[in-house]
Structure 1
Amino acid sequence: MSLLLRLLRPRLGSCVPRLLANRLGSLSTFPVRSPSGDSQPEELRKPIGRYPIPYKKELPFDIVELMEEVEKKTGFLPNIFKVLAHRPGEFRAFFAYYNAIINKETGHLSKTDKELIIVATSVSNRCPYCVIAHSALHRMYSKNAVLADQVTINWKKAELSPRELAMLEFALAVSRADDITEEHFKKLELHGFDREDAWDIASISAFFCMSNRIAHFIDLIPNKEFYSLGRTNDQGL
């Protein structure tokens, strides 16, 4: 199962797919605002972005159910869930597309590959939230505690395989909106990627360019839990 979510069957009486959470290492509670502000720990009262976190009772049931499922199964809720709840329709659309490109089971990209693409793309777009969150996921999938950090500093000097280098070169060309030529595809093919894999790489990079920019203008703060995930041998998925 995927680290975050998988879209399952539509809920009766609604065309909106039901979202259910899967395991995410160790994920804090969904912070429901209290009028007095006295019922929450100090860390939950600190702003995580420019927009308000909605009251739980104001949210649609399927979104509340998702958040509670994540909280129950994992332990902390990534801040992206909290801020996107401000706009439920966009919340659903965001995670539906995320699932379509990240949780697909066809193609030659591993979960580790996908997280590496996200890290490199997010570094190029200077997005702290996505770099920190997805570096954690890469560490957990790959069981490699240092590679994502190396990519964050300088991907060209990171200990990447020729295949990973080709993959990131293509992803970053897409993220920069370079003119994509047949030469780009030929380089990928030399390392076992076909045209459908190229689409997967491009889709992930393009989607996270959007995600990076949303996180920027929201001023989204990473959860503290992400910093330590995957740093030791006893942490993993």
Structure 2
Amino acid sequence: MPTQRYPLPSLDNLPADIRARILEVQDKVGFVPHVFLALARRPAEWRAFFAYHDALMLKEEGRLTKGDREMIVTATSAANHCLYCVVAHGAILRIYEKNALVADQVAVNHRKADITPRQRAMLDFAMKVCQASHAIEDSDFTALHAHGLDDEDIWDIAAITAFFGLSNRMASFAGWQPNPEFYLMGRVPKAKA
């Protein structure tokens, strides 16, 4: 298995705002996802990355659920052959959808996955943005409108796809490995305290 090509910085050596955010994540999920430390080696880029991430993935407006958003990331990350994002976001997808199988199905072939027709149309569009954005046509919008998605929702699908295209490429070239904890999340019931 390839190794991480850039050493992870020590949490103690990070700027206070970044360290505080990473500790919040650690308190919430029980570990520090490698992406938080890997990007922290360049604090200005870390701040920009997570500001855009949060604007796309944590927003309350629109018709995309958190599960929809993670589904987009998982499917397009698989198309980009990004191990880190498929495993990490697949874990989050399993949790949001309360379905231990959906992430694997979506990562392998969303057209055969046990998802709604609306989600299938959403992923068809995301995959086209991922693999052939130059070929997007008005008919692609019409197909999504038929499922109740408006132009702002379509922008969100495209923006999530594009943003994680950047993330996929960073993770792959740098050799980021998924934390072992991600593999079981949403598959095995969480231990009760």
Alignment partners' CA distance in 2, 1:171 and 1:208: 11
Q: Which residue in 1 is equivalent to 2:159?
A: 203
Deviation track 1:50-86 (CA, whole Å, cap 9, x = no partner) reads 1122233432111111222222333100000111111
Cα pair distance change 1:56/1:162, threshold 3 Å: closer
How far apart are 1:233 and its partner, in Å? 4.9
CA RMSD of aligned residues (A): 1.5
Q: Which residue of 1 aligns with 2:138?
A: 182
Measured at CA, do residues 100 and 226 of structure 1 come closer, stay the same or move farther in structure 2, by a change above 3 Å?
same
Greater RCO structure (CA 8 Å; 6+ sep) = 2
Q: Show structure 1 runs of 5+ residues with no match.
A: 1-46
Q: Partner of 2:26 in structure 1? A: 71
- Residue pairs, 1:40-59, within 5 angstroms: 49-59=4-14
1:42 counterpart residue number: none
Cα-to-partner distance string for 1:172-208 (whole Å, 9 max, x where unaligned):
1111124211000000011110101100110100100
**Normalization by structure 1: what TM-score?**
0.76
The counterpart of 1:212, out of the listed 150, 168, 193, is 168
Partner residue of 1:43? none
For residues 126-157 of structure 1, give each alpha carbon's deviation from its aligned partner in whole angstroms, at most 9, with x where no partner exists.
00000000110000011011011111222221
Is 2:121 the partner of 1:169? no
- Which residue of structure 2 lines up, in the alignment, with residue 21 of structure 1? none
Question: Whose helix fraction is larger, Structure 1's or Structure 2's?
Answer: 2
Task: Specify the structure having the higher radius of gyration (Cα).
Answer: 1
1:86-101 paired onto structure 2 within 5 Å: 86-101=41-56
The answer for the alignment partner of 2:100 in structure 1 is 145
Q: Partners of 1:198 and 1:95 in 2: how far apart?
A: 21
1:122 corresponding residue in structure 2: 77
Would you say the 8 A contact 2:7–2:38 is kept in 1? yes
In the TM superposition, residue 87 of structure 1 has moved relative to its aligned partner by 0.6
**1:207 corresponds to which letter in structure 2?**
F
Question: Residue type matched to 2:10 in 1?
Answer: Y
Residue type at the aligned position of 2:16: F
TM-score by length of 2: 0.93
> Which structure has greater strand proportion?
1
| 1:40 corresponding residue in structure 2 | none
Per-residue deviation, residues 25-73 of structure 1 (Å, max 9, x unmatched): xxxxxxxxxxxxxxxxxxxxxx961112223343211111122222233
